[in-house]
Structure 1
Amino acid sequence: MISLLANRNYARLFAAQVVALLGTGLLTVGLGLLAYDLAGARAGVVLGTAYTIKMVAYVGLSPLAQAWAQRLPRKAVLIGADALRGGVALCLPFVSDLWQVYVLIFVLQAASATFTPAYQAVLPDILPEERDYTRALSLSRMAYDLENLLSPALAGLLLAVLSYHWLFVGTFAGFVVSTLLVALSAIPALGRAAAARPFRERLSRGLRIYLATPRLRGLLSLNLAAAAVGAFVLVNTVVLVRAGLGGGETDLAIAMAAFGAGSMAAALVLPRLLDHLSDRRVMMAGARGLAAVALGAGAVLWLDGLPGWIVFLLTWSIFGFLYSSVLTPSGRLLRRSAHAEDRPAVFAAQFALSHACWLGTYPLAGWAGEALGMGPALMLLAAVAGLGLIAAARLWPANLPDAPEHTHPDLPDDHPHLRAHGGRRHAHPFVIDDEHHVWPTHG
């Protein structure tokens, strides 16, 4: 995977992602301290509201942002979004009321809802070979997991000598460096056809392609399975460690590090595994394992209480491994399911729909943990993961061909597409586009 960094454009974009993630990690710590400063014991309510705003911005604004941005140069969009995020971070030390926090968080997440899908859609053009792109996906997954480990440690070092307001300055610095690295990168332009479409079509095109493609409908169901168990881990680990096991803040960090270490282990293994196995087989196996382990762990919690510390950490690392096995290959499916000019719209649809899964599972995990207890809550979320798994198996059949034979009764005999493929009935790698409105085996 490290050999990918010989590609200067990819190396700069990857470095931009890493420093932006570190800045975001500092922001998360600083935001928690700012919320406590402004609201005291109600800080949890403030953070819950802020994270809800984040998810609403992700779900609602990502398709709008990509539709608007398709007529602009991609590099300018990335630079503008990064600059806006840096500006918001620089404003946070000066807020004096909660409404200001909410407004700034909404603007920040709106910029992220623009930047992240656009960045993800650039990578397949920078790395056209599927083998290289697969390894880039694993590196991105590792970057997220390393950020979860390094950002709290870096924040702790800074807080030892500075006030928490300086964490926002660190966030600003991260976005500035990210902006400069993006500016130094050569980013291929989108085709003119995408920009020429009316706004309404640009807005709906990604979602239409996504929902008309069987493998992507299966991906959405697998996103739900991963979000169900992932939400339990992210929402309830603090309760299990602090209240259940009597651990401290360091123990909480170790528990989350175990989850991250499992995810990183999967990211290291997956490139070689995907050289020999299909995406569907790997992702479905990960989802089956995730639902089964969650169901078993929930039953143990319900009947016998919390296991020992070592078993707990091992379980969380297994969750991380299976979670990453489901999510890491998703970029390969998106890349394969759209032409280059449609990829930003499809990546934006994935960004919005996957976060819609989290928007539902986050509150479910919190409510169920408090109302039902941790064991039944984990079993309930395992059941949600199982429903996602069943839906994925039905929506994305194992024998679905990538190049199905199909006909074009709606095209004239002299249409360029018919001439290019040798007649009205033909087969080729199939994606939803202007000539193909439905999947041949689905309508």
Structure 2
Amino acid sequence: MLKILANRTYRHLFLAQVIALVGTGLATVALGLLAFDLAGAQAGAVLGTALAIKMTAYIGVAPIAAAFAERLPRRAMLVSLDLVRALVALALPFVTEIWQIYVLIFVLQSASAAFTPTFQATIPDILPDEDDYTRALSLSRLAYDLESVASPMLAAALLTVISFHNLFAGTVIGFLASAALVATVLLPKAKQVPRRSIYERTTRGMRIFLATPRLRGLLALNLTVAAASAMVIVNTVVLVQSRFALPQSSTALALAAFGGGSMVSALVLPRLLKNIKDRTAMLFGGGILVAGLAVGINVTTYNLLLPLWLVLGVGYSLAQTPSGRILRRSAHAEDRPALFAAQFALSHACWLITYPLAGWLGAHYGLAASFIALAVLAAGSLIMSSLIWRPAHDREIVEHTHDELSDNRAHVDDTNAERHEHPYVIDDLHRRWPR
């Protein structure tokens, strides 16, 4: 897997991603402590609002940013967004009012909503070989999982010698280092696209997404992934420290078990996907998530929770990591930024549903009710995904006609009614999926 790091451009981008992730992790810890410093017992409400603002920025900003990203140099855009994030992190230690947290978080997450899809859409152009791209996806998954474990540990170590305000300095350094690494490489230019209105550019990714059966199936599967991960992220602390009456270190270990399962899955995926289809692997991962949520209803001890969270981590990575491969083969290179932005927005819309659902049900009706509801939601969306994303709709080369095209269109060989076949994606010449 690590041999793709021999590619200098990808190596620098990967290191930029890792360093920025560590900086973001430090900011997450520091933000929680800042909220407690300003709001005391109401810190949970402050963080909950900040999380809602984050998701709103992700959902609303990503498609708009993608509409303008196709007209801008990628390197300049990524470096500029890193600098914006660094400036916001630099301002956070000087916050004295809660509303200031909300404003800065919106700016920070808006920059991230523009940065991440643009970054993701650049990688397929750097690594055109599918096996290399699969390894890159797995490495990216590993980076996210390692960050979830390493950043809290690093923050805990730093807090023994510095105040939490100084953790934001680590975030600033992370974003500046990320910008410097991106600035050292030449990125492939985005493919030129026909001039379109702002509305067309903003909605293009969504329209391609919703017109492609395998992507509609991916959207349903996103909800399965969001249901399971929301249960873990929102209710682990409640399970461990309230139900089982264990310390914070046990909460960290449980979350590490989930991340560890995800890392194991990411490590085996490149070899696994050489032998089975993406659809099979992802739906199987979704099945693991549904089964895990169902089993969770009867978890009564911490020793049972740890292996369950490990298994959920395996299913989470299995269902989510190959999505980049699906997006890559579902659009032309010039449409990939818009499509990655659509996936970014829609997947976070799923979390915007499941995060409050997991927390509200657990708080008002108990954790068993939360497990049951999320298991039902995950199972229903998995069934929907398998029905929408049928094997017949997963073929790359599709036979079709162009009855609506005139004879002088170069795409049609001899007659506009003649059937022909080629790798099929939704674009200006193919606006609907063939029946």
Shift of residue 420 of structure 1? 9.9
Measured in 2, the distance between the counterparts of 1:310 and 1:370 equals 23
One-letter amino acid of the structure 1 residue matched with residue 359 of structure 2: G
Contact 2:69 2:118 in 1 (8 A): no
Report the 3-state secondary structure (helix = DSSP H, G, I; strand = E; otherwise coil) of the residue aligned with 1:247. coil
Structure 1 residues 152 and 167, CA, compared in 2 at 3 Å: closer, same or farther? same
Question: Residues 185-224 of structure 1: CA distance to partner in whole angstroms, max 9, x if unpaired?
Answer: 2111112215x22211101110000000001000000000
- What residue in structure 1 maps to residue 16 of structure 2? 16
Measured in 2, the distance between the counterparts of 1:421 and 1:370 equals 64
Measured in 2, the distance between the counterparts of 1:167 and 1:423 equals 64
277-286 or 309-318: which moved more? 309-318
Shift of residue 74 of structure 1? 1.1
- What residue in structure 2 maps to residue 394 of structure 1? 387
Structure 1 residues 421 and 105, CA, compared in 2 at 3 Å: closer, same or farther? farther
Structure 1 residues 272 and 420, CA, compared in 2 at 3 Å: closer, same or farther? farther
Trace 1:198-347 onto structure 2 (pairs within 5 A): 198-298=197-297, 300-301=298-299, 306-307=300-301, 309-347=302-340
Shift of residue 421 of structure 1? 11
Q: CA RMSD in A?
A: 1.3
2:421 to 395, 419, 427: 427
- What residue in structure 1 maps to residue 407 of structure 2? 413
Measured in 2, the distance between the counterparts of 1:375 and 1:395 equals 30
Trace 1:93-112 onto structure 2 (pairs within 5 A): 93-112=93-112
Trace 1:90-239 onto structure 2 (pairs within 5 A): 90-193=90-193, 196-239=195-238
Measured in 1, the distance between the counterparts of 2:125 and 2:414 equals 24
Measured in 1, the distance between the counterparts of 2:196 and 2:80 equals 23
Compute the TM-score of the two structures, normalised by the length of structure 2: 0.98
Measured in 1, the distance between the counterparts of 2:120 and 2:331 equals 14
Measured in 2, the distance between the counterparts of 1:293 and 1:241 equals 17
One-letter amino acid of the structure 1 residue matched with residue 346 of structure 2: L
Structure 1 residues 340 and 44, CA, compared in 2 at 3 Å: closer, same or farther? same
Measured in 2, the distance between the counterparts of 1:332 and 1:180 equals 28
1:382 to 375, 384, 398: 375
Compute the TM-score of the two structures, normalised by the length of structure 1: 0.96
Measured in 2, the distance between the counterparts of 1:293 and 1:172 equals 38
- What residue in structure 1 maps to residue 32 of structure 2? 32
Shift of residue 244 of structure 1? 1.0
Contact 2:237 2:251 in 1 (8 A): yes
Shift of residue 12 of structure 1? 0.2
Shift of residue 121 of structure 1? 0.2
One-letter amino acid of the structure 2 residue matched with residue 440 of structure 1: P
Measured in 2, the distance between the counterparts of 1:198 and 1:394 equals 35
One-letter amino acid of the structure 1 residue matched with residue 131 of structure 2: R
399-408 or 418-427: which moved more? 418-427
Measured in 1, the distance between the counterparts of 2:123 and 2:210 equals 22
2:348 pairs with 1:355: yes
Question: Residues 58-93 of structure 1: CA distance to partner in whole angstroms, max 9, x if unpaired?
Answer: 001110111122211111111111110000000001
Unaligned 5+ segments in structure 2 are none
Shift of residue 423 of structure 1? 7.9
Shift of residue 290 of structure 1? 1.0
- What residue in structure 2 maps to residue 436 of structure 1? 430
Measured in 2, the distance between the counterparts of 1:346 and 1:105 equals 25
Shift of residue 297 of structure 1? 1.9
Question: Residues 377-419 of structure 1: CA distance to partner in whole angstroms, max 9, x if unpaired?
Answer: 1111010001111110111112322212100011122311113
Measured in 2, the distance between the counterparts of 1:259 and 1:59 equals 26
Report the 3-state secondary structure (helix = DSSP H, G, I; strand = E; otherwise coil) of the residue aligned with 1:192. coil
Report the 3-state secondary structure (helix = DSSP H, G, I; strand = E; otherwise coil) of the residue aligned with 1:371. helix
Measured in 2, the distance between the counterparts of 1:313 and 1:207 equals 38
Shift of residue 422 of structure 1? 11
Question: Residues 298-340 of structure 1: CA distance to partner in whole angstroms, max 9, x if unpaired?
Answer: 1x14xxxx12x32211011001000111000000000000000
**Matched positions, count:** 434
Report the 3-state secondary structure (helix = DSSP H, G, I; strand = E; otherwise coil) of the residue aligned with 1:404. strand
Measured in 2, the distance between the counterparts of 1:293 and 1:346 equals 30
One-letter amino acid of the structure 1 residue matched with residue 310 of structure 2: S
One-letter amino acid of the structure 2 residue matched with residue 181 of structure 1: L
Measured in 2, the distance between the counterparts of 1:238 and 1:293 equals 18
Question: Residues 268-300 of structure 1: CA distance to partner in whole angstroms, max 9, x if unpaired?
Answer: 0111000010000001111112112211221x1
Measured in 1, the distance between the counterparts of 2:185 and 2:88 equals 24
Question: Residues 329-376 of structure 1: CA distance to partner in whole angstroms, max 9, x if unpaired?
Answer: 000000000000000000000000000000000000001111221112
% identity of equivalent residues: 56
Measured in 2, the distance between the counterparts of 1:45 and 1:117 equals 29
Contact 2:402 2:417 in 1 (8 A): no
Measured in 2, the distance between the counterparts of 1:280 and 1:33 equals 42
Measured in 1, the distance between the counterparts of 2:365 and 2:283 equals 29
